[in-house]
C-alpha cells in the first residue's frame, strides 16, 4: 500500500471511531427529530452533530477535497476529482428508537471510484476498513465473504428507502419471490452494515433499490475487497447509481435469477 493511502486510511479510521462514539453518546439523549423528504425519512440532532464534526475535520486536513454528505449535500472545492462521501449515521431509524445497530461511513472516492472505505459500528466496536486493491479488514483482521453456494442455506438482507414509493411493488414482489427459497430474509436497517456483513460472511447477500452514494461508497469497497461480487440491478453498479446486489460469486446468478424472473 502506498504511504499516502496509509496516512489517509489512518485519518479516516480515527475519524470514524470518534464520530461513532459521539453518536453512541447521543443515542439515549436524542434531542429533536424531524422529517426530511417525508414522514418516515427522519434526521436527528445527532446526525447533524456527527456530520458537522466529520466535515470540519476533513476540511481542515484536506482543504482541497470535496465532501458529499447526507444531511448537507456537497461542499465543492477544487475539481481535483477527490470526494469524501459521508453518512454520519447509517441506520437513523434504528438509532432514533435506541436500537444499537447503526454505523458511521466514510469513503474517499477518486473520479467516481472508491479508493478508501471505513465503517465503524460503535456498539459492536467493529471497525471495517479497505483500501482498493489491498483487501478488507475488521478490527485489523482480514475478512472474506461466505462460501455458501445454495440458496436454501443463504441468509439474505434487504432494505427499502423510507419514503420512496418508486420501488414499493418491486420490494414486495422480491420478498415474496425469495420467501421459502432461502434460509431467511432480514431487514436490519443499515445498508452500510449489510454490505459489511456480506464482507465478513455473517450474511450471504444483500440487495436494495433506491440507495444514495453515502449508503454504498465505503460499504461496497469493503465488500469488494473481501471478495464480494458487487453489481447493480438492471444497471451497472456505480456509487452514483441507485441499486446494489452484494453477494458471493456462487450465489450471484441464483439471486439475480429470482430478482429478474421471480424463480
Known catalytic residues?
70, 87, 89-90, 92, 215
| CB-based contact 232:244 (threshold 8 Å) | yes
Residues in 170-189 that interact with ligand IPD by CB under 6 A: 189
| CB-based contact 11:95 (threshold 8 Å) | no
CA dist 262 to 100, 161, 253, 257, Å? 34, 22, 13, 7
Task: Report, in Å, the least distance between residue 156 CB and Ca ion.
Answer: 19
What is the C-alpha to C-alpha distance for residues 171 and 160, in angstroms, rounded to an integer? 7
Interface with ligand IPD includes 160 (CB under 6 A)? yes
Stretch that binds ligand IPD, among 13-21, 90-98, 121-129, 197-205 (CB under 6 A): 90-98
Among 159, 205, 213, 227, indicate the residue that binds ligand IPD (CB under 6 A).
159
Residue 9 neighbours by CB distance under 10 Å: 20
Task: Report, in Å, the least distance between residue 30 CB and Ca ion.
Answer: 14
Largest CA distance in the chain: 52
What is the C-alpha to C-alpha distance for residues 28 and 113, in angstroms, rounded to an integer? 36
Binding flags for ligand IPD, 198-237, as an x/- string (CB under 6 A): ----------x--x---x----------------------
Residue 151: name the closest of 188, 180, 191, 186 by CA: 180
Stretch that binds ligand IPD, among 8-16, 61-69, 137-145, 157-165 (CB under 6 A): 157-165
Pairing of strands 184-186, 155-158: parallel
Among 44, 66, 146, 161, indicate the residue that binds ligand IPD (CB under 6 A).
161
Interface with ligand IPD includes 190 (CB under 6 A)? yes
Q: Which residues of this chain interact with ligand IPD, rule CB under 6 A?
A: 70, 87, 90-92, 159-161, 189-191, 208, 211, 215
Q: Which residues of this chain interact with Ca ion, rule CB under 5 A?
A: 70, 87, 89-90, 215
Amino acid at each position: 500500500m502506498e504511504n499516502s493511502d496509509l496516512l489517509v486510511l489512518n485519518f479516516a479510521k480515527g475519524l470514524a471511531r470518534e464520530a461513532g462514539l459521539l453518536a453512541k453518546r447521543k443515542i439515549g439523549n436524542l434531542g429533536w427529530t424531524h422529517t426530511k423528504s417525508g414522514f418516515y425519512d427522519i434526521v436527528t440532532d445527532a446526525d447533524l452533530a456527527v456530520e458537522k464534526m466529520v466535515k470540519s475535520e476533513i476540511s481542515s486536513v484536506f482543504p482541497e477535497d470535496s465532501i458529499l454528505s447526507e444531511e448537507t449535500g456537497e461542499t465543492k472545492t477544487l475539481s481535483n476529482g477527490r470526494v469524501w462521501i459521508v453518512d454520519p449515521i447509517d441506520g437513523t431509524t434504528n438509532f432514533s428508537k435506541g436500537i444499537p445497530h447503526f454505523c458511521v461511513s466514510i469513503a474517499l472516492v477518486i473520479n467516481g471510484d472508491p479508493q478508501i472505505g471505513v465503517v465503524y459500528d460503535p456498539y459492536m466496536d467493529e471497525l471495517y476498513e479497505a483500501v482498493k486493491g489491498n483487501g478488507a479488514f475488521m478490527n485489523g483482521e482480514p475478512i472474506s465473504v461466505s462460501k455458501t453456494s445454495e440458496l436454501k442455506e443463504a441468509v439474505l438482507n434487504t432494505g427499502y428507502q423510507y419514503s420512496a414509493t418508486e420501488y414499493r411493488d418491486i420490494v414486495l414482489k422480491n420478498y415474496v419471490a425469495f420467501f421459502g427459497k432461502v434460509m431467511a430474509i432480514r431487514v436490519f436497517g443499515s445498508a452500510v452494515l449489510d454490505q459489511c456483513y456480506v464482507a465478513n460472511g455473517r450474511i450471504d447477500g444483500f440487495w436494495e433499490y433506491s440507495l444514495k452514494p453515502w449508503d454504498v461508497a465505503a460499504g461496497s469497497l469493503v465488500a469488494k475487497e473481501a471478495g464480494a461480487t458487487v453489481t447493480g440491478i438492471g444497471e451497472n453498479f456505480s456509487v452514483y447509481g441507485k441499486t446494489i446486489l452484494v453477494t458471493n460469486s456462487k450465489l450471484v446468478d441464483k439471486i439475480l435469477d429470482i430478482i429478474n424472473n421471480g424463480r
